[in-house]
Amino acid sequence: MIRWSSALNGFVELFYPRLCVGCGRKLFQDEHFLCVECLSSLPLAQVHESEDNFVEQHLYGRPYIESATTLMVYGKETVPQKIIHEIKYHGAKELAQSMGRMLGRQMKGGRFSSVDMIVPVPLHPKRLKWRGYNQSEWIAKGLSEELGVPVRSDLVERVVETSTQTNKNAEERWSNVKGIFALRQEVSTEGLKDHHLLIVDDVITTGSTLMACAAAFSHVDNVKISAASLAAVN
């Protein structure tokens, strides 16, 4: 059975080869999503244990989020941009989960070791129906596997459908997301008291979406909120 399965996979790859998300080269059998060259050249941010890092600087002057980190530095025409695009628009859920695991391995221990729950930034129901999945939730699944912390997609909901954040300036982004998230009616704020929540998104530009999501927990007593993403603009 294993031999037949291997032969079938080889036949399928003959006509539909697995290609590197970064450069488009055909992947070897032991490569997944990214070739060795693209994987080794990823612009890793390396800021997990650095306070006052460039991700947190995006959030200066905004309440709620205390600590923030990211896996990669985001830029146009870069491998991180291609990864995010593949995850958001080409149904690459397993890629999101795999990158989430990579992020989780780097976040183990240190200042994120007290996280109790992982909260993926939710999509509006209409957007979720159109896309078929929430990319932040799949990133969170990968994080959960490495950190041993449960994913809680049932805490907060997106109550307002907004236009895309792409091509908006910082002021327009903040205005676009104000008040768009809320705790679900069935969620008890008492049950979240004294907890450390990690809000997860795919990419951070101004941090406006993360801040709007964090604001939904503003009435929870003594809650600590951190944030993480696969990529962030420096």
The Cα 43–Cα 74 span in angstroms is 8
Q: Where are the domains of the chain?
A: 1-41, 43-233
In percent, the amount of the chain with pLDDT more than 90 equals: 70
Query: What's the pTM value of the predicted model, to 2 decimals?
Result: 0.87
Average pLDDT over residues 93-97: 97
Residues 157-180 have pLDDT tens digits of 998 876 554 555 555 555 566 779
Residues 47-88 have pLDDT tens digits of 999 988 999 988 876 668 989 999 999 999 999 999 999 999
CATH topology for the 43-233 domain:
Rossmann fold (3.40.50)
Lowest mean pLDDT among 21-35, 99-113, 158-172, 193-207: 158-172
pLDDT for the residue 2: 47
From residue 134, alpha-carbon distances to 74, 124, 153, 166, 205 in Å are 20, 10, 10, 18, 19
Distance in Å from the first CA to the final CA of the chain: 50
The helix (H) or strand (E) run that includes residue 197 is strand 196-204
Average pLDDT over residues 150-160: 94
The Cα 73–Cα 54 span in angstroms is 10
Is the predicted pLDDT of residue 16 greater than 70, yes or no?
Answer: no
